[in-house]
């Protein structure tokens, strides 16, 4: 059966844009394509954030299984094969993926192991560690990048999603660096959960104890 190539927004099916489909990316959703509807609850606040994640795993199936096991959820998962799957209504559903901005965010998980020693082929290039890279003690200071098709998809998808969802296409954490690596006021949960980034597109690591998403974010403003 052909994939629907549609996301679910406000209870309606929205076809992925040509710029995404032209990359060879296919889209599935939980209504048309037998994707699981991951844990969510009704949204009561205006959407103002888009959060970029990396799975720290190697497969979309494993990501879905882990999220269900942990009673978490995310709106979109982008696999290594270029399949973009939709697991909740982007407008109507809150998913449990983004800590203190769950209620105002759409979350995208990109399947990427993040650490080279955990990666399985196919995978992107291994890059030198940056200021945002998590490196386990005793391991090489490197970062496992996503595949090129995943990066290209994010570059085409995110601006379109921001326009569709009326999320400001700005980067409130763009100027972070080794001296200012996270948002002001952030502390380990639950003390720091009041601290939130401004509206726009952010990496999960920029406002939480996680380490994911920064590479993807930076590909949007290269």
In a domain, 40, yes or no: yes
Residue 209's pLDDT is what? 87
CATH number at residue 125: 3.40.80.10
| Radius of gyration, alpha carbons of the chain | 16
In a domain, 184, yes or no: yes
In a domain, 18, yes or no: yes
SS3 51: strand
Range of the domain at 188: 6-218
In a domain, 101, yes or no: yes
In a domain, 65, yes or no: yes
Global pTM?
Answer: 0.97
Q: Which residues of the chain have pLDDT under 70?
A: 192
User: How many domains does the structure of the chain reveal?
Assistant: 1
In a domain, 194, yes or no: yes
User: How is residue 104 annotated by DSSP?
Assistant: G
In a domain, 1, yes or no: no
In a domain, 191, yes or no: yes
Pairing of strands 200-203, 49-54: parallel
Find the helix or strand (DSSP H, E) in which 127 lies: strand 126-128
């Amino acid at each position: 059966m052909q994939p629907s190539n549609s996301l679910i927004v406000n209870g309606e099916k929205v076809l992925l844009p040509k710029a995404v489909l032209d990359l060879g990316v296919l889209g599935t959703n939980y209504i048309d394509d037998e994707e699981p509807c991951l844990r969510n609850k009704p949204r009561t606040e205006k959407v103002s954030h888009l959060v970029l994640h990396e799975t720290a795993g190697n497969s979309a199936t494993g990501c879905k299984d882990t999220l269900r096991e942990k009673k978490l959820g995310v709106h979109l998962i982008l696999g290594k094969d270029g399949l973009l799957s939709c697991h909740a209504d982007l407008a109507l559903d809150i998913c449990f993926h983004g800590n203190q901005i769950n209620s105002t965010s759409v979350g995208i998980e990109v399947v990427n192991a993040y650490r080279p020693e955990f990666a399985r082929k196919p995978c992107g290039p291994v890059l030198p560690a940056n200021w945002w890279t998590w490196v386990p003690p005793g391991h090489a200071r490197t970062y496992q990048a996503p595949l090129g098709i995943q990066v290209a998809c994010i570059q085409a998808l995110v601006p379109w999603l921001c326009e569709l969802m009326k999320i400001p296409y700005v980067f409130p954490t763009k100027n972070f660096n080794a001296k200012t690596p996270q948002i002001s006021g952030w502390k380990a949960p639950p003390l720091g959960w009041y601290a939130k980034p401004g509206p726009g597109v952010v990496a999960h690591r920029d406002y939480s104890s996680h380490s994911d998403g920064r590479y993807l974010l930076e590909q949007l403003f290269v």
